[in-house]
Amino acid sequence: MKVIVGLNEASSGAVRWKGRNLAEEGDFEPHEVGYVPQFSIAHEQLEVWECVEDAVRLRCGGLGAEGVEQRVEAVLEETGMREIAHKRVAVLSGGQRRRLALGLELVSAPDLLLCDEVTSGLDPKAEDEITDLLRGAADRGRVVLNITHSLRHLSSHDSVAVLCQGHLVFHSSPEYLLHYFGIEHQEDLYPKLATRSAADWGQSWEKHRDSYGLLERGKASLSVGNDAGTVECAASGQVERVGFLVQWRVLWGRRWRLFWRDRGQVKLHLALLVGFPCLVVVFALHGLPALRAAAELPEDPLRQLVSDFSTRLEYLRVGGMVSGLIMFQVVLLTLMGANNAAREVAGERLILEKEKFSGLNPLAYVLSKVSFLAVLVLAQSVWMSLFVNAVVRMPGSLLEQTFLLFLVNAAMTAVSLGISSLMRTAEQSSLVTVYLVGFQLPLSGAVLALPEWLGKLTRPFIASYWGWSGFLQTLAETRFYNAVLQMTQTPLMPVWSVVAVLVLQMVVGIAAAYVGCKGSRWT
């Protein structure tokens, strides 16, 4: 089935549809085919009608607001989901989730509907209902290919193909199945197959296949795909490809809905937003008197006092406190950045793959994530800078300092987004980003200077070093700058190079996110 839809490459043979070889003459158009996987793939926090509406807006172009509403209503009616339209996906039963999965594929009125064990694990009543829906979808003019291990509803199908260890051992009307295998009940099929090797069954079918032609009803159903004009369904009508900007807007709006409905996520972000700046201030309180005293001394007397040994020690302590205070802000912002994006793509990978299959532009998806995360990064960085500055009264340009903190957070967020898109699971992505944040402080050189060769090797990848170095450069016209220079052996970089490197890290992270989202990660 994955070969048919293009998710896996065929090792041999060919797939033909409407007279064309899909491998040589172009793959399916997104609206031509629907793929219903074994388990429902949808956002748990959304309501049923929202999932269907988002699917319509992402897949069916050229529809106005009224057209979208009509198509949503038609799909809800066809799949029997009108009564559960306002239920969240998280509370749906197994059968209701399968209905939703089917409905999401029907929005584009596909000619071919592929169903991968959509009745497995359901109770008999739910299995009956889903089978009836598939039968109804076929009766409306679609070709429905259903993979199943259940033998309860074979009579509902126009034709049945039996595969055994890679061999085709039967393909005809279900009415002929009992006769061909010499069994009295459908449930006896699997025990019967175990009596001979799969190769023997395959050879036997090759000899007898001409004697078991498909019934006319099956032939007619299988030929429906040759004439797109015969397709009639509740959500009928030729669909257009959805534009890039429309997909971006739908995805961006959906991401914000998901954010506000996840109370745990909202509380965590608020805790970090409020708690981390307070944490910086708490650690700075002990040194604030010395910091302010040094700031209030006139320049010339201060230079004379430095010659005194005890005063010089105090001067170095102030320099260390300033350096540590800046680095603390930077490291906490990198931690926020990792938290922002570590699970952003990996946590909904299957939904992304499903929507890509249905025509989603990966670039629109990535940019919707970037625009969402940009709001978080801006709020976190600005609040960190303003709150800490209001208490500590750090000298230098507040605007430049805020901008540099924003770049540090944005760089780590973008890199974490790239990692999230390249990892197969959210757990793997979270683990990698945690390690990355953990190396920020020791490899920055802000606390203990690294060997020169190691520093040159690691600094390009350490966002906290560049944020710390750039922030310190904003103090160049103050006496604190000299104090920091006397207590650190790590070289500081000019602001222009800091901005260039952090922007480069952002670009690399977003590019990695695009590459990861464009590639297939089906499991």
Choice among 139-143, 217-221, 236-240, 458-462 with the minimum mean pLDDT = 217-221
Query: Rounded mean pLDDT of 449-464?
Result: 80
How far is Cα 209 from Cα 172, in angstroms, rounded to an integer? Answer: 8
266 pLDDT above the threshold of 90: yes
CATH of domain 2-159+214-230: 3.40.50.300
Beta-strand (E) ranges in 117-260? Answer: 143-147, 160-164, 167-172
Query: Rounded mean pLDDT of 170-194?
Result: 91
How many other CB atoms are there within 10 angstroms of residue 495's CB atom? 19
**Tell me, what DSSP letter sits at residue 167?**
E
Q: Which amino acid is at 404?
A: L
Distances (CA, A) of 120 to 36, 95, 145: 13, 10, 15
How far is Cα 250 from Cα 242, in angstroms, rounded to an integer? Answer: 11
Banded pLDDT at 225 (limits 50, 70, 90): very low
More confident residue, 396 or 193: 193
Nearest to 444 by CA among 470, 424, 426: 470
How far is Cα 285 from Cα 287, in angstroms, rounded to an integer? Answer: 5
Instruction: Name the residue with tokens 């699971």.
Output: 425
Please report, to the nearest 10 degrees, the dihedral formed by the alpha carbons of residues 293, 294, 299, 305 taken in order: 100
Banded pLDDT at 216 (limits 50, 70, 90): very low
Query: Rounded mean pLDDT of 260-265?
Result: 93
Choice among 2-16, 78-92, 162-176, 479-493 with the minimum mean pLDDT = 479-493
Q: Which amino acid is at 296?
A: E
How far is Cα 77 from Cα 84, in angstroms, rounded to an integer? Answer: 11
Banded pLDDT at 286 (limits 50, 70, 90): low
Query: Rounded mean pLDDT of 61-65?
Result: 85
Nearest to 170 by CA among 219, 203, 146, 196: 203
How far is Cα 4 from Cα 480, in angstroms, rounded to an integer? Answer: 67
Beta-strand (E) ranges in 353-478? Answer: none
What pLDDT shows up at residue 337?
95
What pLDDT shows up at residue 447?
65
117 sits in the region (left: phi over 0; alpha: psi -120 to 50; else beta) called left
What are the backbone dihedrals phi and psi of residue 170, each rounded to the nearest 5 degrees, phi first? Answer: -170, 140
More confident residue, 497 or 301: 497
More confident residue, 283 or 197: 197
Sign of the C-alpha dihedral computed for residues 253, 255, 258 and 259 taken in this order: negative
Q: Which amino acid is at 422?
A: L
**Tell me, what DSSP letter sits at residue 425?**
S
Cβ(388)–Cβ(274) below 8 Å: no
What DSSP assignment string belongs to 5-29? HTSS--SSS--EETTEETTTS----
Nearest to 462 by CA among 476, 477, 447: 447
What pLDDT shows up at residue 43?
93
Of the chain, the end-to-end C-alpha distance in Å amounts to: 14
Query: Rounded mean pLDDT of 484-502?
Result: 83
Query: Rounded mean pLDDT of 64-69?
Result: 90
What DSSP assignment string belongs to 206-221? HHHGGGSPPPHHHHHH
Q: Can you read off the two tokens belonging to residue 229?
A: 């004009």
Query: Rounded mean pLDDT of 257-262?
Result: 95
Banded pLDDT at 31 (limits 50, 70, 90): confident
Q: Can you read off the two tokens belonging to residue 166?
A: 């890679």
More confident residue, 22 or 221: 22
> What is the tens place of the pLDDT at every residue in 423-455?
988 999 999 999 998 888 787 776 666 777 777
More confident residue, 213 or 104: 104
Q: Can you read off the two tokens belonging to residue 492?
A: 């500081």
Banded pLDDT at 230 (limits 50, 70, 90): very low
Q: Tally the residues of the chain.
A: 523
How far is Cα 515 from Cα 523, in angstroms, rounded to an integer? Answer: 18
Instruction: Name the residue with tokens 């409407």.
Output: 18
Give the Cα-Cα-Cα angle 287, 288, 289 (nearest 5 degrees). Answer: 95
The domain limits of the chain are 2-159+214-230, 299-518
Query: Rounded mean pLDDT of 121-131?
Result: 88
297 pLDDT above the threshold of 80: no
182 pLDDT above the threshold of 80: yes
Query: Rounded mean pLDDT of 22-51?
Result: 86
121 pLDDT above the threshold of 60: yes
> What is the tens place of the pLDDT at every residue in 311-336?
444 555 666 677 778 888 999 999 99
Cβ(30)–Cβ(330) below 8 Å: no
How many other CB atoms are there within 10 angstroms of residue 157's CB atom? 20
Choice among 136-140, 161-165, 221-225, 425-429 with the minimum mean pLDDT = 221-225
Strand ranges across the sheet with 33-36: 33-36, 112-116, 143-147
**Tell me, what DSSP letter sits at residue 165?**
T
Query: Rounded mean pLDDT of 342-350?
Result: 93
299 pLDDT above the threshold of 60: no
Banded pLDDT at 457 (limits 50, 70, 90): confident
Banded pLDDT at 228 (limits 50, 70, 90): very low
What is the Cβ-side half-sphere exposure of residue 94, based on CA atoms within 13 angstroms? 14
Q: What is the mean pLDDT of the chain?
A: 84
What pLDDT shows up at residue 255?
97
Banded pLDDT at 491 (limits 50, 70, 90): confident
